[in-house]
Amino acid sequence: MDIGSINALMKSDEPLLPELEPYAFFDPNLKMRIFHHPLIIDVPFTSAALINARL
């Protein structure tokens, strides 16, 4: 994946795939939204489109 593709995904309004929703949550201790899946951890949660593409 090149930097142009990553930038496009970061700007996308694409929603997180429904099967991935349980892995995205707000952590009150960190005071941020995180994504914690067995294959991908994204802290802070940055882009649903990027996570969808990575999986």
Residues 6+ apart with CB under 8 A from 25: 33, 34, 36
Per residue in 2-47, pLDDT (tens digit) is 899 999 999 999 999 999 999 999 999 999 999 999 999 999 998 9
- Report the largest interatomic distance among the alpha carbons of the chain, rounded to a whole angstrom: 34
pLDDT at site 21: 97
Domain spans of the chain, in order of start: 3-54
Instruction: Select from 42, 15, 38, 47 the least CA-distant residue to 27.
Output: 42
Spatial distance between the Cα atoms of 55 and 48, rounded to a whole number of angstroms: 11
Scan for tokens 């201790």, then name that residue: 29
pLDDT at site 53: 94
